[in-house]
Structure 1
Amino acid sequence: MRKILLAAALLAAAPLSASAAERVSYNYVEAGWTQLDTNDDYFGDPKVDGGYIRGSFDIGPQVNVFGAWSYVSKKYNGSYAGYDASLKLELNQPELGIGYHMPMSDRVDFTADIAWVRQNVEAKLSVDGFDSATDKDHTNAGRATVGVRGKPSVRTEAWAKAGYLDGGSDFKGTWVGNLGGQVNFTQTWGLVAEVQAYRDVTQVSVGVRASF
């Protein structure tokens, strides 16, 4: 009798496990490499590389909070007035937000979110034989997006969002788009790739995500 009851329990649990695997998760942490590509002819269309971390957590049946932080930098070497010189550019960007998600079908969700985004920029000029000079600036902006997120298959996930990014007088408002996907190795671990674009900036990110 115990064996029959155990077999029945396992069979009953199997559809639930498969169903869970077919739904997207809003509880995850991830980290990886990121690159900003700026369309700026004056600076030769600079690309700056670095890393990022990101996380999301459900605080209700259809509401999640999320946060992220990215850091990119690039160093230029040259000469100034006959002296060896270097210029290092750094950009670190934290963000915090809250999102809403609503099922549209068994595998597709409608999503909407708002976030606070801060861009911190630092430039450091070093010239041999002289004290280095540093210049810093920052911008606070708000972003709102709507989109869809779903699972084309049990081991894949995709999302697309569009919205608006505005920093008031410090950062003129602009449309922003986001396209990404994930390939799962297991129900927990997956490889994530994402592209975000606004104005003359394109940010590409590749990382590893742990969903729970």
Structure 2
Amino acid sequence: MRKILIVAALLAVAPLSAKAEALSYTYVEGGWTQFKTSDDDLNDPKIDGGYLRGSIALAEQVHVFGAWNYASKSYDYTYGTFKLELNQPELGIGYHMPFSDRVDYTADIAWVRQQAELTVKDVDFGRLTSKDHTNLVRATMGLRGKPSRMTEAWIKAGYMDGGNEFEGTWVGSVGGQINFTKTWGLVGEVAGYRDVTQFSAGVRASF
């Protein structure tokens, strides 16, 4: 919550006297990601991997977006090993409108698929695999803006539900970008729901 308030304050005090370059809704990015579950009994387990994300502006105020997150971790035990793999693709459509010269109001809805696969290699039982997945719908609203010419920040909050397979829950994210050129920048984001937090850091190319 503290991070969200800080970003909201930065967006609110962004100078309005000089019009910034328009925010781009056509970009591709990729990098490192980590999923962390808050669980004292399991010592807050973490699983690392990578992500790809992209967006294409279809019209002046409409864009489509997609992403793919993958993370894995292997564990050893007395009679073998087991590997946990997480796959999370998503696809959605978004709307944006000017809130001020430097800030846009954003809203989006997306399909999200969470899939987990466990592979066990045991000296007695050989290779065993188990898979499970859940299809979710996520809707968010937020603000995206440019506190300065070479920086960008955004905050979003919303709700995610998977029907009988996943009880609805609030979701939120906060992120930012530091631009080196008009095209290239470094991005970072923290997103979460319930006891799960996802950290991401990568490189973005905007067009």
Q: Normalising by the residue count of structure 1, what TM-score does the alignment of the two structures yield? A: 0.87
Q: Identity over the aligned pairs, expressed in percent?
A: 67
Aligned partners of 1:209 and 1:95: how far apart in 2? 18
Aligned partners of 2:84 and 2:75: how far apart in 1? 8
Aligned partners of 2:39 and 2:120: how far apart in 1? 20
Q: How far apart are residue 163 of structure 1 and its match?
A: 0.1
Q: 2:155 is matched with which residue: 154, 157, 160? A: 160
Greater Cα shift, 95-104 or 41-50: 41-50
Q: Is 1:39–1:201's contact at 8 Å kept on the other side of the alignment?
A: yes
Q: Is 1:23–1:151's contact at 8 Å kept on the other side of the alignment?
A: no
Cα deviations by residue, 1:54-79 (Å, 9 ceiling, x for unpaired)? 00011011000000001001111121
Q: How far apart are residue 22 of structure 1 and its match?
A: 2.2
Could you tell me which amino acid in structure 2 is paired with residue 141 of structure 1?
L
Question: Partner residue of 2:57?
Answer: 58
Aligned partners of 2:67 and 2:161: how far apart in 1? 18
Q: How far apart are residue 29 of structure 1 and its match?
A: 0.3
Matching of residue 35 in structure 1 with residue 34 in structure 2: yes
Q: How far apart are residue 119 of structure 1 and its match?
A: 0.6
Q: How far apart are residue 129 of structure 1 and its match?
A: 4.4
Which one scores higher on RCO, CA 8 angstroms, separation ≥ 6? Answer: 2
Aligned partners of 1:47 and 1:22: how far apart in 2? 38
Q: How far apart are residue 45 of structure 1 and its match?
A: 1.9
Q: 1:188 is matched with which residue: 183, 187, 207? A: 183
Cα deviations by residue, 1:81-114 (Å, 9 ceiling, x for unpaired)? xx3x211100000000000000011110000000
Could you tell me which amino acid in structure 2 is paired with residue 155 of structure 1?
M
Q: How far apart are residue 50 of structure 1 and its match?
A: 0.2
Aligned partners of 2:185 and 2:44: how far apart in 1? 32
Q: How far apart are residue 130 of structure 1 and its match?
A: 3.1
Structure 2 residue matching 1:25: 3-state secondary structure: coil
Q: Is 1:22–1:153's contact at 8 Å kept on the other side of the alignment?
A: no
- Answer with 1 or 2: which has the greater Rg: 1
Q: How far apart are residue 41 of structure 1 and its match?
A: 3.7
TM alignment of 1:44-193, pairs within 5 A: 44-79=43-78, 83=79, 85-193=80-188
Unpaired runs of 5+ residues, structure 2, are: 1-17
Aligned partners of 2:41 and 2:167: how far apart in 1? 20
Aligned partners of 2:110 and 2:27: how far apart in 1? 18
Structure 1 residue matching 2:125: 3-state secondary structure: coil
Q: Normalising by the residue count of structure 2, what TM-score does the alignment of the two structures yield? A: 0.89
Q: Which runs of 4+ in 1 moved over 6 A?
A: none
CA separation of 1:156/1:206 partners in 2, compared to 1, >3 Å: closer, same or farther? same
Aligned partners of 1:196 and 1:111: how far apart in 2? 16
Could you tell me which amino acid in structure 2 is paired with residue 71 of structure 1?
Y
Question: Partner residue of 2:24?
Answer: 25
Structure 2 residue matching 1:169: 3-state secondary structure: helix
Question: Partner residue of 1:209?
Answer: 204
CA separation of 1:41/1:133 partners in 2, compared to 1, >3 Å: closer, same or farther? farther
Cα deviations by residue, 1:38-58 (Å, 9 ceiling, x for unpaired)? 113444321000000000011
Q: How well do the aligned residues superpose, as a CA RMSD in angstroms?
A: 1.3
Could you tell me which amino acid in structure 2 is paired with residue 78 of structure 1?
Y
Q: How far apart are residue 210 of structure 1 and its match?
A: 0.1
